[in-house]
Amino acid sequence: MTQPREHDDPALAVRDLRVRFRTGREDVLAVKDVSFTVQPSETLAIVGESGSGKSATCLAIPRLLPGTAEVRGSIRFGGRELLELSQRELRHVRGKEIGLIYQDPMAALNPVRTIGAQISEVVRLHLKMSRRAARERSAELLNAVGVTPARRQLRAYPHEFSGGMRQRVVIAMAIACEPKLVIADEPTTALDVSIQAQILLLLRKLASEQNISLVFVSHDLSVVAGLADKVAVMYAGTLVEYASALELYESPVHPYTRALLAAIPDRDHIPITPRLEQTTRAVNGERSTEGCPFRRRCPSASGQCTKIPELTETAANHFVACWRAEEGGQGGKG
Amino acid sequence: MPSGSTDATPLLEVRNLTVRYRSRGGIARRHERIDAVNDITLHLPKGATIGLVGESGSGKSTLGKAIVRLERPYGGAVLLDGIDIFTLPERNFRPMRRRLQMIYQDSLASMNPRFTVGETIAEPLVVHRIGRRDQRSERVAELLAGVGLDSSMCDKLVVQLSGGERQRVNIARALASGPEVVIADEPTSSLDVSLQAQVLKLLKERQRQDELSVLFISHDLAVIRSVAATVAVMYLGKLVEVARRDDLFSMPLHPYSRALLLAAPQPDPRAERQRDQAPIPGEIPSPVDPPRGCRFHPRCAMASDICAAVEPQLRQVVPGHWSACHFAEALGSDPATLSFMEDPETGNARPRR
């Protein structure tokens, strides 16, 4: 698999990642040979619809997938191979060097403890701070994420907060130990658009001020446009396009990326790419087909698509897994 | 009156509707009163689609539920063909339910988990005694086909379906009784972009073919823009703006609508990177104790003294365009508003800063 050529020392380097879920009845290859890197202070957006494997990919990194998951490949972070670490070693990495933000803030918040106690717990555990220092740090963090007045809010409980405020608290917890990497899985999907705008700006500001590498997973190409330096588009477990944000939005190459961009509704135009209409089940079925998983829904599919295309560089630092792209066929706005 | 069109008696009329919740209070708490929906008037003519936009706490879902009689009003009325649905006893209202259906946001919560797809869709036919038993399976198959599902789905339990499939079953069920008015509460919010497009197309087709009137409730402006001819914006229980779609999007006359439009991200990295502040600061205030004067004023960039003192009424600023803002006219003549949507250099849609 061609590796994207970038600077030598990425903050995160994922190579040939494979995730297989084995349950009694089913055996699903959720992520197939996915490789990408994230440079220090860079934001990578992983974009795909449900069934694309984007969540499995991002949860594989801190090894938070369930026991039924089999993970293969390489995940290098902080000079170490994460897939080789013991659970004990991993516990030190998670929370301290890798921060996590989920879609539902209540997945990370304990409803019966104050938010001050919860943030303090993180810093006391990983940074061995005293109770007083931890409280100071918690107040500092709440200020940084806009939950004010910080001292009063330390004593509040999650249920007293709105969704947006809770997510700010989760962000505070994620950055509490000054991690090098933060993984955010659809962090704004459940929020109102006005609050989403605030949170996206907050994430951008924090990532830049604190030199954090951010992996932002989303189904929405509009949401990541302002944050992403690089975008990886996933379909049925594979990476289909991988490029800088500007390149991707201005010159999308893969038919799926183009269809995703075209499907963003606006004005009278209810965009229908007829073959884009499918269910997750169909996508699962496509995982096991031979050849390009997008073949059946692709408007440009042809005979060669029965062989799976490799990710190849079609323009500087722009990688696409599509036979048509290699021919030099497609470019320009969809 | 804010309306979906300028002519005809509206099929559905919401008149000064208020839905109030009271909490009882106790030793340490006083009585609290929340007007989730506050004095709303809206007309929905036959064959029209009105988009109702609002964020959490706006009251839009409560309004939707009140229209189908799932909430009792504190004041006002909902008239279907001129008859106030709240004055009817249940047995007289029941035949009207067939004409006035709802697509629920949470499809699973609104379905009986023991039912199959076929039973779910047939239920309205059974309840309203539509057709003979043998005709029903045909009708169910027809409805399934209409939402792009195969009739082999009939025997599946609804809990076995994916979110997108379930939502389509939800829609098929809502259309089963052949309603004249459909209240769609965030019908596409849980769907992927590709499915969303398909569902919207379906609704539009049914609307065209059957002259269906739709009240489309959503927080997503882009979706509303693609389905609604008229758009109403709600904030904290009140209507703040009502206009024809193109008028609202090209020249919003209320700071909240304007900020909402600005807040939506665009698939345009250059434009998005230029953002340096969120268009609407802060959070929605508690509905228990709404701000005095204009409810939006604490978060409004344009607020002045009168806004904190006097609540603006929804009024017609230019024909067909209503706004509840003291400064609506100023917004209308502000070039920043007019050049809202297009970047003169690239021609791309982008918000002005």
CATH code for the domain in which residue B211 is found: 3.40.50.300
Long-range Cβ contact pairs of B268-274 (< 8 A, separation 24 or more):
B268/A225, B268/A249, B268/B348, B268/B349, B268/B350, B269/A225, B269/A226, B269/A228, B269/A245, B269/A246, B269/A249, B270/A246, B271/B343, B271/B348, B271/B350, B271/B351, B272/A225, B272/A226, B272/A227, B273/A226, B274/B353
Which residue of chain A has the CA closest to B193?
A263
Q: What is the CA angle B270-B273-B277, rounded to 5?
A: 140
Among candidate residues A88, A94, A97, A142, the one with its CA nearest the CA of residue A120? A142
- Together in a domain, B131 and B163: yes
pLDDT digits (tens, 9 = 90+) for B237-275: 999 999 999 999 989 999 999 999 989 888 999 999 998
- Together in a domain, B207 and B307: yes
- Phi/psi of residue A114, nearest 5 degrees: -70, 160
Does the structure show a pLDDT above 50 at B6? Answer: no
Q: What is the CA angle B279-B285-B287, rounded to 5?
A: 135
Complex ipTM tops 0.85: no
Distance CA A204, CA A227 (A): 6
CB contact under 8 A, A259 and B194: yes
Which residue of chain B has the CA closest to A148?
B282
pLDDT of residue A86: 92
CB contact under 8 A, B277 and A222: no
The Cα-based distances of B349 to A224, B40, B257, B313 in angstroms read: 17, 32, 17, 31
Chain A residues inside the 8 Å CB shell of B193: 49, 219-220, 260, 263-264
pLDDT bin (cut points 50, 70, 90) of residue A37 is very high
- Together in a domain, B173 and B189: no
**Which domain-ending residue is among B130, B157, B178?**
B178
User: Is B110 within 8 Å of B194 (Cβ atoms)?
Assistant: no
Q: Dig out the tokens for A87 from the structure.
A: 């659970």
Distance CA A270, CA A131 (A): 56
pLDDT bin (cut points 50, 70, 90) of residue B198 is confident
Number of A/B CB contacts below 8 angstroms equals 128
Q: Dig out the tokens for B186 from the structure.
A: 């965030």
Which residue of chain B has the CA closest to A281?
B162
Minimum-distance CB partner of A193 among B162, B263, B270: B263
CA A326 to chain centre: 27
State the average pLDDT for chain A: 87
**Which domain-ending residue is among B178, B202, B226?**
B178
- Together in a domain, B199 and B127: no
pLDDT digits (tens, 9 = 90+) for A252-307: 999 999 888 887 765 444 444 444 444 334 455 556 567 888 888 788 888 888 88
Beta strands per DSSP E along B188-292: 213-218, 230-235, 238-244
Which residue of chain A has the CA closest to B283?
A195
Distance CA B15, CA B9 (A): 14
CB contact under 8 A, A163 and B56: yes
- Together in a domain, B310 and B166: no
- Together in a domain, B27 and B76: yes
CB contact under 8 A, B267 and A49: no
CB contact under 8 A, B197 and A271: yes
Among candidate residues A253, A255, A190, A248, the one with its CA nearest the CA of residue A221? A248
Q: What is the dihedral of CA B203, B205, B208, B213, to 10 degrees?
A: -10
**pLDDT more than 70, % of chain A:** 87
What is the span of the domain harbouring residue B68? 10-99+179-352
Distance CA B117, CA B154 (A): 5
Q: Is B121 helix (H, G, I), strand (E, B) or coil?
A: helix
CB contact under 8 A, A201 and B277: yes
**pLDDT more than 70, % of chain B:** 90
pLDDT of residue A95: 84
Does the structure show a pLDDT above 60 at B336? Answer: no
- Together in a domain, B82 and B195: yes
Chain B residues inside the 8 Å CB shell of A266: 222, 225-226, 349
Q: Is B109 helix (H, G, I), strand (E, B) or coil?
A: coil
From its phi and psi, is residue B275 left (phi > 0), alpha (psi between -120 and 50) or beta?
beta
What type of residue sits at position B61?
A: S
Chain B residues inside the 8 Å CB shell of A249: 267-269
Residue B104 is assigned to a structural domain of this protein:
no
pLDDT of residue B335: 53
Q: Is A178 helix (H, G, I), strand (E, B) or coil?
A: coil
Residue B2 is assigned to a structural domain of this protein:
no
Chain A residues inside the 8 Å CB shell of B267: 221-222, 225, 249, 261, 264
**pLDDT more than 90, % of chain A:** 63
- Together in a domain, B251 and B308: yes
Q: Is A273 helix (H, G, I), strand (E, B) or coil?
A: coil
CB contact under 8 A, A226 and B275: yes
pLDDT digits (tens, 9 = 90+) for A55-82: 999 999 999 999 889 999 999 998 899 9
pLDDT bin (cut points 50, 70, 90) of residue B217 is very high
What's the whole-number mean pLDDT along residues B328-338? 70
Chain B residues inside the 8 Å CB shell of A245: 269
Within 8 A by CB and 6+ apart from A205, the residues are none
What's the whole-number mean pLDDT along residues B27-48? 85
What's the whole-number mean pLDDT along residues A185-206? 93
CB contact under 8 A, A50 and B278: no
Tell me, what DSSP letter sits at residue A117? H
Q: Which of A73-82, A109-118, B283-292 is predicted least confidently?
A: B283-292
- Together in a domain, B94 and B157: no
pLDDT digits (tens, 9 = 90+) for B100-155: 999 988 888 899 999 999 999 999 999 998 888 889 999 999 899 888 788 899 99
Measure the N-to-C terminal CA separation of chain B; round to a whole number of Å. 33
Among candidate residues B265, B199, B49, B33, the one with its CA nearest the CA of residue A271? B199
Minimum-distance CB partner of B269 among A162, A245, A277: A245
CB contact under 8 A, A194 and B349: no
Does the structure show a pLDDT above 80 at A208? Answer: yes
Distance CA B164, CA A180 (A): 37
Residue B3 is assigned to a structural domain of this protein:
no
pLDDT of residue A270: 47
pLDDT bin (cut points 50, 70, 90) of residue B305 is very high
Q: What is the dihedral of CA A46, A48, A49, A52, to 10 degrees?
A: -100
Residue B106 is assigned to a structural domain of this protein:
no
pLDDT of residue B191: 76
Beta strands per DSSP E along A138-229: 181-185, 213-218
CA distance A99 to chain B (A): 24
Minimum-distance CB partner of B226 among A192, A270, A281: A270
Among candidate residues B259, B192, B249, the one with its CA nearest the CA of residue B224? B249
CB contact under 8 A, A277 and B165: no
CB contact under 8 A, B268 and A164: no
Within 8 A by CB and 6+ apart from B158, the residues are B108, B111, B112, B113, B115, B116, B117, B120, B166, B169
pLDDT bin (cut points 50, 70, 90) of residue A28 is confident
Exposure string for A96-133, b = 16+ CB within 10 A, e = fewer: bbbbbbbbbbeebbeeeebbbbbbbbbbbbbeebeeee
pLDDT bin (cut points 50, 70, 90) of residue A328 is low
* Strand duo B238-244 + B230-235: pairing: antiparallel
Domain count, chain B: 2
Does the structure show a pLDDT above 70 at B314? Answer: yes
pLDDT digits (tens, 9 = 90+) for A120-179: 999 999 999 999 999 999 999 999 999 989 999 999 999 999 999 999 999 999 999 999
Which residues are paired to A20 by β-bridges? A29, A70
Instruction: Map tokens 């918690």 to a residue.
Output: A138
Instruction: Map tokens 């963003």 to a residue.
Output: A264
CA distance A273 to chain B (A): 8
CB contact under 8 A, B226 and A266: yes
What's the whole-number mean pLDDT along residues A19-34? 88
- Together in a domain, B204 and B119: no
What's the whole-number mean pLDDT along residues B289-303? 92
Q: What is the dihedral of CA A276, A329, A264, A29, to 10 degrees?
A: 50
Residue B92 is assigned to a structural domain of this protein:
yes
**pLDDT more than 90, % of chain B:** 54
Residue B107 is assigned to a structural domain of this protein:
no
CB contact under 8 A, A246 and B270: yes
- Together in a domain, B29 and B128: no
User: Is B182 within 8 Å of B11 (Cβ atoms)?
Assistant: no
Which residue of chain A has the CA closest to B195?
A277
CB contact under 8 A, B268 and A249: yes
Does the structure show a pLDDT above 80 at B171? Answer: yes
pLDDT bin (cut points 50, 70, 90) of residue B353 is very low
CA distance B83 to chain A (A): 34
Measure the N-to-C terminal CA separation of chain A; round to a whole number of Å. 27
Tell me, what DSSP letter sits at residue A175? H
Per the document, the length of chain B is: 353
Instruction: Map tokens 């809206």 to a residue.
Output: B42
CB contact under 8 A, A270 and B204: yes
CA distance B186 to chain A (A): 13
Residue B1 is assigned to a structural domain of this protein:
no
**Which domain-ending residue is among B159, B178, B197?**
B178
- Together in a domain, B191 and B292: yes
Residue B214 is assigned to a structural domain of this protein:
yes
Give the Cβ contact number of residue A314 at 10 Å: 22
pLDDT of residue A320: 93
CA distance A30 to chain B (A): 17
Chain A residues inside the 8 Å CB shell of B277: 201
